[in-house]
Amino acid sequence: MRTQKQWLEYKKLEQIPLTIAEHKALEGRSTPTKRLSQLLETVWQPIAKLFEASSEPHIWKTYDDNGNPIWHAYDPITGKDSEWICEEDVRVWLEQRYYQPAVQPPLTTLEQR
């Protein structure tokens, strides 16, 4: 089982958004280099997201106050967020997402003829 610091570092590396309290727990004492790094990260993240064109779902796991796992997923195609308490439910969602028919764009006037 991971320590809280290991979990926070994992979330940071996987680019899972951290809460303000989690940021403070990772920071510890602030140094000029650390502040510059944080500033660059804050500026770079939105720019990187503009160029990210992945249609792959984003899935991550957090824990509630009692230590129970909560699975989260974001589908960039539909823009929907989902949560589950069971890993099996996440797998079912992935299978359904994979096998559902793709949304077809509407036909243009020339294609209808």
The H-or-E segment that residue 25 falls in is: helix 20-27
Query: Do 41 and 7 belong to one domain?
Result: yes
Query: Do 39 and 62 belong to one domain?
Result: no
Residue 40's pLDDT band, with cuts at 50, 70 and 90, is confident
Query: Do 17 and 36 belong to one domain?
Result: yes
The 10 Å CB-count burial string (b at 16+, else e) for 22-56 is beeeeeeeeeeeeeeeeeeeeeeeeeeeeeeeeee
Examine the pLDDT at 7 and tell me if it is beyond 70. yes
How high is the pLDDT of residue 9? 76
Query: Do 86 and 46 belong to one domain?
Result: no
In a domain, residue 111? The reply is no
Q: How many domains does the chain have?
A: 2
Backbone conformation region of residue 67, classed left if phi is above 0, alpha if psi is from -120 to 50, else beta? left
Distance, CA of 78 to CA of 102 (rounded, Å): 11
In a domain, residue 19? The reply is yes
For residue 20, what are the domain limits?
1-52
Distance, CA of 51 to CA of 41 (rounded, Å): 15
For residue range 62-95, what is the model confidence (pLDDT) as tens digits? Answer: 998 888 999 999 888 888 899 999 999 999 999 9
**Greatest C-alpha distance within the chain:** 68
Query: Do 1 and 48 belong to one domain?
Result: yes
Distance, CA of 83 to CA of 74 (rounded, Å): 9
Residue 108's pLDDT band, with cuts at 50, 70 and 90, is low
Q: Take residue 23 and report the two structure tokens written for it.
A: 């940021």
Query: Do 46 and 69 belong to one domain?
Result: no
**Which amino acid, residue 93?**
W
In a domain, residue 109? The reply is no
How high is the pLDDT of residue 1? 65
